[in-house]
Amino acid sequence: MHTSALPLISPWLSDASDWPDTLRAGHRRSFAKHQVLFSEADHCAQLMLVLDGRVRLVSTGAEGWEGHLLVVSPGSVIGDCGLFGNRRYAMTARASTAVTVAMLDADTLRRSIQHDAGLAQRFLEVAHLRQRILLQHYRLANCADAFERVCFHLLGLASAHGSQGAQGIRLELDFTQQEMAEICCLSRVSVSQAFGRLEALQAIRREPDRRWLIEPQRMRGLVAHLL
C-alpha cells in the first residue's frame, strides 16, 4: 500500500508566538505534577498561558482510557478548544511536571479576538498546527509500528528542540520514556525496547548529562518510507 509522506511535526509544542502582554498579565496559578488543569466537556470559563513546566492534552474515552494528543511547553495557550462553538473544553489538560500558568478570562479573550484581526490570526495558526499534529497521530497509528512511531517522534523532537553538533543532534528537551510512551500511544516497555534497539543501531546515545544525541541520517533511514 502506498503511503504519502507524513509531515514531520513534533507533538511537543513550544509556542514561539509573541502573545500580547495582556495574556501574560493574567492571575498566576500553580499546579502539581499530574494535577488536572481542566477537564474535557467542562464549561470553558478560562484559558491558560503556560509559563513554566509541561502540560499533556488528552482525550478521554467512554471507558476512561486516555488518548494522548499533545505536550505543551511554556509559551503555549491551552483551553482555546472551548473558546467558541459549544464553549466546552474538547480535551483534558494534565500537568506532566509542576506547572505555572497565567489564567485568562474566556469571555474577555473572546471579545479581544473578535476585534483584533492579528490576535485572531495567531489563534488560527495555532489551531492549524494542532490539526496537523492530530492528522499525523492518526496516520502513524495506521501505517507505522511501535518502533517506527518512536523513531518518527524522536526525529520530530530533533527538528523542534534539537541543536546540531559535530556528532549529531542533541535534544535540548528533557523528557521521560513515560512521556514518549504516552505521546506514541504505546507501553513504556515498548518504548524502552525501541530505545535499546536504537542504541544498538547507533542511531541514538545518552550524553553524560542524560540528554539524548541523535544521529539523524541513521534515524531517517529507519523510517524513510514515512518521510
Which tens digits make up the pLDDT trace of 15-39?
656 788 878 888 999 999 999 999 9
Residue 189's Cβ-side half-sphere holds a number of Cα atoms within 13 Å equal to: 0
Between residues 182 and 193, which one has the greater pLDDT? 193
What are the CA-CA distances from residue 128 to residues 27, 81, 132, 135 (Å)?
Answer: 28, 12, 6, 11
Sign of dihedral through CA atoms 36, 41, 43, 46?
positive
Q: In this structure, are residues 79 and 89 in contact, taking their beta carbons and an 8 Å threshold?
A: yes
Which tens digits make up the pLDDT trace of 104-148?
999 999 999 999 999 999 889 888 888 888 888 888 888 899 999
pLDDT score of 2 more than 60: no
Residue 49: pLDDT band (50, 70, 90) is very high
Q: In this structure, are residues 15 and 126 in contact, taking their beta carbons and an 8 Å threshold?
A: yes
The residue-averaged pLDDT of 75-96 equals 91
Look up the pTM and report it. 0.81
In terms of DSSP H, where are the helices of 25-116? 106-115
pLDDT of 57: 93
Query: Can you tell me whether residue 169 is helix, strand or coil?
Result: strand
User: What torsion do the CA atoms of 218, 205, 75, 139 make, to the nearest 10 degrees?
Assistant: 40
Q: State the DSSP string of 68-115.
A: EEEEE-TT-EESGGGSSTT-B-SSEEEESS-EEEEEEEHHHHHHHHHH
